[in-house]
Amino acid sequence: MIVDIHAHYFPKAYNDLLLRIGGRSLPEAARPSTARPMRNDDAAGIPTRLQQMEEADVQLQVLSPAASPPYAEKEADAVAAARLINDSYAELARKYPGRFNAVVSLPLPHIDASLREMERGLDQLGMLGVSLTCSCFDRSTAEAEFEPLYQEMNRRRTVLNYHPIQNGICSPMINDYGFTVSVGASLEDAAIVLHLIARRVPERFPSIKYVVPHLGGIIPMLLQRLDNQAPRQHPNLPERPSVTARRFHYDIVGHGSQAALLCAWKAFGADHLVAGSDYPVLLAFETYRQNFFYLRESILPPEDVDKILHHNAQILLGLKH
């Protein structure tokens, strides 16, 4: 069975709260509120989701709120949103044991409150890791102000799932041309890898299990170039950038692209690819089953496909497999 490490669920109450909070998390051109409310999910849709999971051979979905994190300028607003989304996911996990779990959403940019919510989510709600977007209020989440979170995650040896926040890496060259989501999201994935390398985060917090979505964006194509050219600007790196990049895990969300899959497989190796779907985003283009089974149509060795689909996420999350 497959563990889908990258799936989303958007309770109406959470979306409504984000709208009431307002504030800023992205440039106004991208969205005016704290985070863009996504389509509403409710209990009535769970049987359909479970049926799709059965058809796709998915045992468990690990949930997060995608590009709609509980971030707010006022700490009380952020905490209320974080508690609501985490409690909603925990309730789903209780109601459907073994079918749903989640990574803890944090009330950023409020560090002490985020540490408390991390503890609650991991220790009381039984969640499987922590969720961070690639940036918060247009600041990379690899920056120094977020290091207390990394220290605690390192102490706990937890999984850390990243996700784009859809700000088009704050670039008018992307956003003004309407590529915030279709291209900008992958550039965010690449940017967080580069920031982690530049700030030597994996060296300083080696016990975190880092998971980058969408096959790592453009990173698989850049490893040799990074090794050749990045040391000029970063002479004190502890190792070649390609070595650090291969310490991370990357989910297989690739919109069915065999070229992207092959590139990531060659760049990172099968051991560092994990099953993920971005549910429900790709349902507009392909079935939930196809989100995973495009691997079986690839030239990857069958034993690598089996490892990626049925073992790697379970090992990463400490689940039976």
Burial class (CB in 10 A: 0-12, 13-18, 19+), 247: middle
Query: Can you count the helices (H) and strands (E) in the chain?
Result: 14, 11
Q: How many domains does the structure of the chain reveal?
A: 1
* 225 membership: H or E segment, kind and range: helix 223-233
Q: Say which residues have a Cβ less than 8 Å from residue 15's Cβ, sequence separation at least 6.
A: 37, 38, 40, 68
Distance CA 125, CA 102 (A): 9
CATH number at residue 192: 3.20.20.140
Residue 1 CA from chain centroid, whole number: 21
pLDDT at 6: 98
SS (H, E, C) 95-124: HCCCCEEECEECCCCCHHHHHHHHHHHHHH
Tens place of pLDDT for every residue, the chain, 321 residues?
999 999 999 999 998 898 888 754 434 444 433 455 567 787 788 999 999 999 999 999 999 999 999 999 999 999 999 999 999 999 999 999 999 999 999 999 999 999 999 999 999 999 999 999 999 999 999 999 999 999 999 999 999 999 999 999 999 999 999 999 999 999 999 999 999 999 999 999 999 999 999 999 999 999 999 999 999 999 999 999 999 999 999 999 999 999 999 999 999 999 999 999 999 999 999 999 999 999 999 999 999 999 999 999 999 999 987
Whole-angstrom CA distances from 317 to 3, 23, 82, 101, 314 are 9, 34, 22, 11, 5
Full-model pTM: 0.94
| Residue 259 CB burial class (10 angstroms; 0-12, 13-18, ≥19) | exposed
Q: What integer pLDDT is reported at residue 37 of this predicted model?
A: 55
Residue 173, both tokens: 């060259």
Q: Which residue has the tokens 């050749």?
A: 228
Q: What is the pLDDT of residue 268?
A: 98
| 10 token code pair | 């958007």
Distance CA 242, CA 155 (A): 25
Q: In terms of residue numbers, what domain contains 209?
A: 2-317
